[in-house]
């Protein structure tokens, strides 16, 4: 079975369980914490390792999370370890967050610009995205700065990308010049 399929199924079951037990928000916060923790290289490698015994993995997870997460989240992690699926925790966490956002109708938008954007520009961008009708009312904007863009911005959401950066325009011009589309014949 593919990693995506496993992550989708386990995330869906946790989401449904959290809804049934009316613990969706605490579990969502726990999963965000778990996703951030799994970015730690040592924890990630430990979860992925077939050599480290399941008891040892659960002991580490208990030590890290016991008093910090909801009992449902800890029981779910115990289930994953018992089923030998702990290696998929980062993927399951990411998929749970995606499914939560779909359930709550949250659109995540990533804006990458050459320079930091002011609050006025972000407010205007939010207003235009909401007016366009391509996003939901609940808009989550993640802002990044990449000086390599030279100017302009790149907007990404729902597997779509709108690139209005100067670097992209220069690359398009370069490609056109290489095709010799600007040669005039006399």
16 and 96 co-located in one domain: yes
Among 102, 128, 163, where does a domain finish? 102
Structural domain containing residue 158: 106-178
Asked if the structure places residue 14 within a domain, the reply is yes
Whether 186 has a pLDDT exceeding 60, the answer reads no
Whether 118 has a pLDDT exceeding 80, the answer reads yes
Q: What secondary structure letter does DSSP report for 81? A: H
pTM across the whole model = 0.80
Nearest Cα neighbor of 156 from 168, 143, 166 is 143
Q: pLDDT tens for residues 151-162? A: 999 999 988 999
pLDDT of residue 12: 97
How large is the average pLDDT for residues 23-34?
96
Tallying the residues shown for the chain, one arrives at 186
CA distance 182 to 184: 6
pLDDT of residue 184: 62
Whether 141 has a pLDDT exceeding 60, the answer reads yes
pLDDT of residue 111: 96
Asked if the structure places residue 161 within a domain, the reply is yes
Binning pLDDT at 50, 70 and 90, where does residue 181 land? low
Number of structural domains the chain divides into: 2
57 and 148 co-located in one domain: no
75 and 115 co-located in one domain: no
pLDDT of residue 183: 63
Binning pLDDT at 50, 70 and 90, where does residue 180 land? confident
Helix (H, G, I), strand (E, B), or coil: what is residue 161? strand
Binning pLDDT at 50, 70 and 90, where does residue 137 land? confident
In this structure, are residues 81 and 52 in contact, taking their beta carbons and an 8 Å threshold? no
Phi, psi of 155 (to 5 degrees): -115, 125
Strands (DSSP E) contained in 18-167 are 106-113, 138-145, 153-157, 160-163
């Amino acid at each position: 079975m593919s990693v995506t399929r496993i992550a989708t199924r386990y995330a869906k079951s946790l989401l449904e369980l959290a809804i049934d037990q009316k613990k969706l928000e605490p579990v969502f916060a726990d999963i965000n914490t778990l996703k951030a923790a799994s970015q730690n290289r040592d924890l990630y490698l430990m979860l992925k390792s077939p050599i480290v015994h399941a008891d040892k993995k659960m002991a580490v997870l208990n030590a890290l999370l016991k008093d910090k997460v909801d009992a449902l989240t800890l029981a779910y992690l115990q289930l994953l370890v018992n089923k030998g699926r702990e290696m998929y925790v980062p993927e399951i966490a990411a998929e749970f967050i995606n499914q939560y956002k779909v359930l709550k109708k949250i659109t995540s938008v990533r804006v990458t610009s050459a320079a930091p954007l002011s609050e006025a520009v972000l407010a205007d961008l939010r207003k235009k995205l909401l007016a366009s009708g391509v996003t939901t009312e609940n808009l989550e904007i993640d802002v990044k700065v990449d000086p390599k863009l030279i100017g302009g911005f790149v907007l990404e959401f729902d597997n779509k990308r709108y690139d209005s950066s100067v670097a992209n325009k220069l690359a398009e011009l370069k490609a056109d010049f290489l095709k010799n589309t600007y040669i005039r014949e006399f």
